[in-house]
Structure 1
């Protein structure tokens, strides 16, 4: 019997492990798709511009089908967790900026023991995935 994986499981498989930044990317990718709605025309492609290199980008590749190889995933490094999702050739776009309080949970201190790192990682993921959307990010549609 074949069991279909959930979107979360697909992202984790692609990325290789769970971490706070992959949960951030997962959440941003879902918000973006909800806000963008249905693709305007069959010929349009979703373009994603990120303002930081991070594990979050892997979630965009899996869930939003925006990839480096096709040139639909671009990084304009500014060390900001701000992401622009737009359909090519259309004015359909949404910018998602992650709140600073959320970003603080992305880094797990190195001085922790292995068990403490695991616990801190799980707590950060739960915090990121469970935060109220208004506390998680700001959304601007254009």
Structure 2
């Protein structure tokens, strides 16, 4: 019997473990999908730009099909949890910035000195925090003029 994996399970499999970072990427990737809707034309491509290299980008590779190998995922390291999504052929960017309060909460996350079970529980607690916090408290979304350009092969 073959059981299809959920999007969350696919992200965990790709990333290799569960952590708050992939939960952030999962929320961002889903929000972008919802706000962008369907592909405007069959030949348009989704491009994603992340302004920090974190676990979150793995969720975007899986859920948004924007991979580093195809150059559809670009990373410009500024250590900001800011993500831009763009369908080629359009002139708008969907920009998502993680709220400072969420980042401060996650920065305080510490599992040092905990038993394996305590570590696992703390990780799951932080993942649940990210996945359940009200969207307006999680991030700021805006639609802005602009485009992303895929870098040459």
TM-score w.r.t. length of structure 2? 0.88
5+ long unaligned stretches in structure 2: 145-153
Structure 1 runs of 4+ with >6 Å offset: none
Distance 2:71 2:95 in 1: 19
For the 8 Å contact 2:44–2:87, the answer to whether it is kept is: yes
1:106: how far off? 3.2
Give the alignment partner of residue 124 of structure 1, picking from 117, 123, 126: 126
Provide Cα deviations, 1:4-49, integer angstroms capped at 9, x if missing partner. 0000000001111000000000000000000000111011110000
For the 8 Å contact 1:20–1:105, the answer to whether it is kept is: no
1:110: how far off? 4.8
5+ long unaligned stretches in structure 1: none
Show the counterpart of 2:112. 111
Provide Cα deviations, 1:32-82, integer angstroms capped at 9, x if missing partner. 000000111011110000000001111001000000011010011110100
RMSD of equivalent CA atoms: 1.2
Show the counterpart of 1:12. 12
| Farther-moved stretch of structure 1 (87-96 vs 3-12) | 87-96
Show the counterpart of 2:26. 26
